[in-house]
Amino acid sequence: MKKIISLVVLLVFLAASSSFSADGNLWRNSTLNKILQRGELRVGLEAGYMPFEMRSKTGQIIGFDVDIAKKMAKAMGVKLKLVNTAWDGIIPALLTDKFDIIMSGMTITQSRNLKINFADPYIVVGQAILMRKGLEGKVKSFKDLNNSKYTLVTKLGVTAEFATKKYIPKATLKTYDTEPEAAMEVLNGKADAFVYDKPYCAVFYAQKGIGKMVFLDKPFTYEPLAWGIQKGDPDFLNWLNNFLRQIRHDGSYEKIYKKWFLSNKWLKQVQ
């Protein structure tokens, strides 16, 4: 009987040791541990999505996501490195360890979530519409644009493209490599409407569209944005969610939000 009890105790000890070893390996392989060892947080983004990330007149990358990334690096006690990356390659770049995290106004989608994990949403946006002035009064919502006589434009490969195809399928859709290219088509009278995230539409309208475009500012989709990381990394995910929770409650998030979304003082840095 004593031998059986001893054997059971030994098996439990070995199982516990194996579990502790696995937990240790998990932490050693964690992106968070590697960041701390390296002394640098590498953030992947595409500098072209106002006011989340963009180039200033001096060439510096600035924006809402950048300020939060600075806050994040400070909380980790490490330096910040911004890695500007083309949107169509940003997930592959994360998966091949070109940087540690995507902080670039990325919408959570099921297809993306199959490839990467997302932290809790840090902001919720939706698709809005900027129209040419001639449609004022004729088009009152996205539903009125669902006609083959209308040409809509947006950026290639983003949720705005997918939303347009889903909710306004009868319209003619043209896509462009960047947001400004697409929006300028409407401003120049070469397209009827630009479909994109409300924050970007609001900024473009304030910069160039007042009196020249019509802003349908009521979003017709619900889109949570979140930070993307590699799969299989619970320690990093746990830290990110706690970090987000902390800055939401200590006033840091609100201060950064007001700077980029409730004020236009930053526009002079890019105009």
CATH number at residue 188: 3.40.190.10
Residue-level pLDDT at 263:
83
One domain for residues 176 and 195: yes
Give first-to-last CA distance, the chain, whole Å. Answer: 83
Q: Is 221 helix (H, G, I), strand (E, B) or coil?
A: coil
Report the pLDDT value the prediction gives residue 151, as an integer from 0 to 100: 98
164 with 107, same domain?
A: no
Bridge partner list, 53: 49
* Res 1: pLDDT: 54
Q: Which domain holds residue 206?
A: 127-221
Residue 3 confidence (pLDDT): 53
In a domain, 138, yes or no: yes
**Lowest mean pLDDT segment, chosen from 29-33, 48-52, 55-59, 94-98:** 48-52
Buried b (16+ CB within 10 A) or exposed e, 243-252: bbeebeeeeb
Mean of the pLDDT values across residues 71-81? 98
Would you say residue 151 lies in a domain? yes
Same domain, 155 and 108: no
pLDDT band for position 13 (cuts 50, 70, 90): very low
Answer yes or no: is 105 within a domain.
yes
Percent of the chain with pLDDT over 70: 91
Are 178 and 237 in the same domain?
A: no
Residue 32 pLDDT greater than 50, yes or no: yes
Same domain, 156 and 208: yes
Banded pLDDT at 12 (limits 50, 70, 90):
very low
Q: Is residue 22 one of the residues assigned to a domain?
A: no
Residue 195 lies in a domain: yes
pLDDT for residue 259 is more than 80: yes
Number of domains making up the chain: 2
pTM for the full model? 0.78
229 and 216 inside one domain: no
Residue 217: which residues within 8 A CB-CB, separation 6 or more? 128, 198, 201, 202
Cα(236)–Cα(118) distance, integer angstroms: 11
Q: Return the beta strands (E) in 49-120 as ranges.
A: 54-55, 61-62, 79-84, 101-102, 117-118
Average pLDDT (53-67) is 96
Instruction: Give the end of a domain, one of 205, 221, 237.
Output: 221
Residue 130 contacts residue 214 (beta carbons within 8 Å): yes
133, 212: one domain: yes
Q: Which residue's structure tokens are 């009827």?
A: 192
Supply angle C-alpha 6, 11, 12, rounded to 5: 100
Task: Tell me, yes or no, whether 106 lies in a domain.
Answer: yes
* 13: in domain: no
Residue 111 has pLDDT above 70, yes or no: yes
Q: Report yes or no on 74 lying in a domain.
A: yes
Give the whole-angstrom CA distance, residue 37 versus residue 39. Answer: 6
* Confidence class for position 4, pLDDT limits 50, 70, 90: low
Query: In terms of domains, do 83 and 145 share one?
Result: no
Is residue 48 helix, strand or coil? Answer: coil
Q: Are 186 and 152 within one domain? A: yes
pLDDT of residue 267: 87
**Mean pLDDT, all residues of the chain:** 91
Provide the pLDDT for residue 207: 85
Average confidence (pLDDT) over 178-194: 96
Residues 49 and 63 in one domain: yes
Write out pLDDT tens, residues 214-247.
999 999 999 999 999 999 999 999 999 999 999 9
User: Does position 15 have pLDDT exceeding 80, yes or no?
Assistant: no
